[in-house]
Amino acid sequence: MFGVYTYMVWMLVFTLLAIGILWVRYYPILWKNRKIIAITSVIAIAYQIAVDPIAESWHAWFFGTDRILGLWIFNFPIEDTVFFVLVAIAVSSFVVSRAARAK
C-alpha cells in the first residue's frame, strides 16, 4: 500500500494516535510523572534491544525489505527502533494514567 513506508506509516498511525489520546486526556497527570514515563520507557527499550534479536533469530517475525526503508540502527530497521520508543512511551503513559486515576 505504501511501499517501503508501509511499516513506518502503520506504526506511526497506531502508536501516535494512542499517545496523543492519552496525553490530551491526562496531560496534567502525565506531565507531573514525565520522569517516571521516561525511566520506564528507557528500561523497556533496553529490554527490547536485548530480546528482539533472539526473537528474530527464532524467526518469530521478519522485515520484508519491500516494506521498510532500509535504514538500520544496531541490528534493527529504523522502523523497529522507532516502534520500541513509541510503544514504550504509550504503555508507560497508559500505566501512569491508570495508576493515578486509581488513587
pLDDT tens sequence across 41-51: 999 889 988 88
Long-range (24+ apart) CB contacts under 8 A made by 45-50 are: 45/84, 45/85, 45/88, 48/84, 48/88, 49/74, 49/76, 49/84
pLDDT at 19 exceeding the cut of 90:
yes
- Rounded Cα distance, 103 and 100, in Å: 6
Distances, alpha carbon 97 to alpha carbons 43, 87, 88, in Å: 19, 15, 14
Per-residue pLDDT tens for 54-103?
A: 887 888 877 778 888 888 887 788 888 888 899 999 999 999 999 987 77
The model carries a pTM of: 0.84
- Rounded Cα distance, 83 and 45, in Å: 9
- Rounded Cα distance, 36 and 103, in Å: 17
Helix (H) or strand (E) holding 37: helix 34-57
pLDDT at 24: 97
- Rounded Cα distance, 17 and 25, in Å: 12
